Amino acid sequence: MGYALVANQIVHRTAFHRARLLDHLTPYDGRLTQAIDNLSWVHGAHSFKFGGEVRRDRYNQFGNQYERGVFAFPGQATFDPANRNTTGFSFADYLLGAVSTSTRALGLANTMFRATSFDLYVDDTWKLTPRLTVNIGLRWDFLTQPAMQNGRLSNGLDLFNQRWLIGATALPSACSTVGNANGCIPDAFFTPCPNPNPTNVPCNTLFAQNGNVVAAGSKNFMSPPVHNNYGPRVGFAWQPLHRTVVRGGIGLFWDTLSARSQYVQNDIEGQRWPWISGFTSTAPNSTLGPNNNNILPTSFTPITSLAGGTTTTILANPWNQTANANQPNWQNPWSMQYNFEIQREFGPSTIVSAAYVGSRNGHLPYVGKANALPKALNTIPAGTCGTDVTMNCLKLVPWMSSNVTYNTSSGYGNYNSLQAKFQRNLTKGLMTLVSYTWSKSLDNSDGFFGVENGAGQNGSAIQSFFNPTSNYAPSGYDIPHFLSWYTVYELPFGKGKRWLPGGPLSWFLGNWQANYIFQARTGQPYNLQVT
């Protein structure tokens, strides 16, 4: 009987840094604190392991582009009306003070949140007989709900329930009552537009949908706490013959906290209304003439009258958002992984093995244009939406843009492979390893922002958000065949070798190795871009 106790604490803090490019300030201060404790206990035929971890993530991204403001001079004020595409001089626009656009952050971004996770595990390696060992284990991951910091709103889009969610116990106040504080709701939100609208007074064209803008009930609501991530594992190693070993195992694994942090960051930086981080506005100098061919001289405005005077206007409603949005009840992705291997030893240095390795995966990111029409417009019978020929009534949110990219956790996939290996351990200066994998990876998901797309798939997306089975196909990273041959040969010169075992020449010519790596593989799928 014996035991070993190992305890440690790791504290890591990233460095504060500033990077400047076009007036871009990017200070970042992140801190990860971990406390890890492991205990091993050997008792008879059992070898137990227990452990746990507490992890605290502090994500602080203060940086933002254009915090001092940027004026653009693209040469619009000085181009030749008869030859607009090849004339115009930006520096001349600058000397004239003819600004085209101005961009500025309202303040340093404050994408800040905190998250804590707890992990516990127990494992038993049980030597049932001299030829059979069984391993049984269980891991539990508990993730708390990320918490926003410094008053930042956490907003979101519940597309399937036609709701715009604001992370608060009640809707924010009207801007006129709180001095236009960031996060307030513009007064125009509460003002219906007359029909027809003869005035230019700010108003809300979608006033009837104000009831679909709701408070989530708490400041932190996106990415709810996760307490059911249980990961059982079981495996075995059996030696039926003197030189033959059979191994196998299966286990359930859950996604990491880092992926969850990315999800939270996307929520904060994507769906913002009514929070504002910056603005881009068109200056009066870009007013075109009556023939739409040149800037009107009378529209030139001195840059001194624009500097510091341009303000931003919060949109009257959130329904024109097109940035990435995440489903509020996002679930952590999981992977059930399994393998079975037969290994045979031929002589004291040669091993041959064959294995089946596979996995089944669920709750994968399933991303697409969820608010688009469920089928092609020309296949929808006339009159389905009355007089609306655009058939918007068939969209999940009829009054919202069709171009919103929506992330759900309904994707799925699987992987199956045959893996063979020939290995000759180092003998007489020679070692070689030949491995071959025949596999197939299928899924209906390309991950966040298409990050799992293969070569030629940049920007591609699923074909139809509403038909997941039509998107089930080889993964972007699918490589059906992969052959690798690795060899190491120790040259017979130097200490302990046949030639030049000593002397000055062995200092320079002795104990050299020659390495060889050969790889051959099939290519990744190549898709046409979907736009």
Pick from 181, 193, 186: nearest CA to 213: 186
Gyration radius (Cα) of the chain, Å: 31
Residues 256 and 248 sit within 8 Å (Cβ to Cβ)? no
- Which residues are bridge partners to 248 per DSSP? 236, 340
Residues 350 and 423 sit within 8 Å (Cβ to Cβ)? yes
- Per-residue pLDDT tens digits for 202-259: 889 899 999 999 998 888 777 778 899 999 999 999 999 999 999 999 999 998 766 6
**Predicted pLDDT at 5:** 38
Reply yes or no: is the peptide bond before residue 474 cis, omega within 30 of 0.
no
**Predicted pLDDT at 447:** 66
- pLDDT per residue of the chain (531 residues) written in tens, 0 to 9: 333 333 333 333 333 333 333 444 555 567 788 899 999 999 999 999 999 999 888 877 655 555 566 777 777 777 777 776 778 888 887 887 777 766 666 555 556 788 888 999 999 999 999 999 999 999 999 988 888 877 777 788 899 999 999 888 899 999 889 887 878 898 999 999 887 776 677 889 899 999 999 998 888 777 778 899 999 999 999 999 999 999 999 999 998 766 666 667 666 666 678 877 655 555 544 445 444 444 444 455 555 555 554 455 678 898 887 777 888 888 889 999 999 999 999 988 899 999 999 999 999 888 888 999 998 899 999 999 999 999 999 999 999 988 888 888 899 999 999 999 999 988 888 899 999 999 999 998 866 655 555 554 555 567 788 888 988 988 888 899 999 999 999 888 888 888 888 888 888 888 898 999 999 999 887 766 555
Query: If you search the block for the tokens 């769906």, which residue do you land on?
Result: 271
Tokens of 412: 């799925």
Between CA 441 and CA 479 the distance in angstroms is 8
**Predicted pLDDT at 511:** 86
**Predicted pLDDT at 11:** 39
Backbone angles phi, psi at 285, to 5 degrees: -65, -10
**Predicted pLDDT at 238:** 98
**Predicted pLDDT at 273:** 83
Burial (CB < 10 A; 0-12, 13-18, 19+), residue 285, is: buried
Between CA 193 and CA 199 the distance in angstroms is 9
Backbone angles phi, psi at 298, to 5 degrees: -70, -15
* Dihedral of alpha carbons 177, 183, 188, 191, sign: negative
Backbone angles phi, psi at 138, to 5 degrees: -145, 135
**Predicted pLDDT at 75:** 78
Between CA 481 and CA 485 the distance in angstroms is 14
Backbone angles phi, psi at 68, to 5 degrees: -100, -5
**Predicted pLDDT at 336:** 98
pTM of the model: 0.79
Query: If you search the block for the tokens 């009514």, which residue do you land on?
Result: 274
Between CA 178 and CA 288 the distance in angstroms is 37
**Predicted pLDDT at 480:** 95
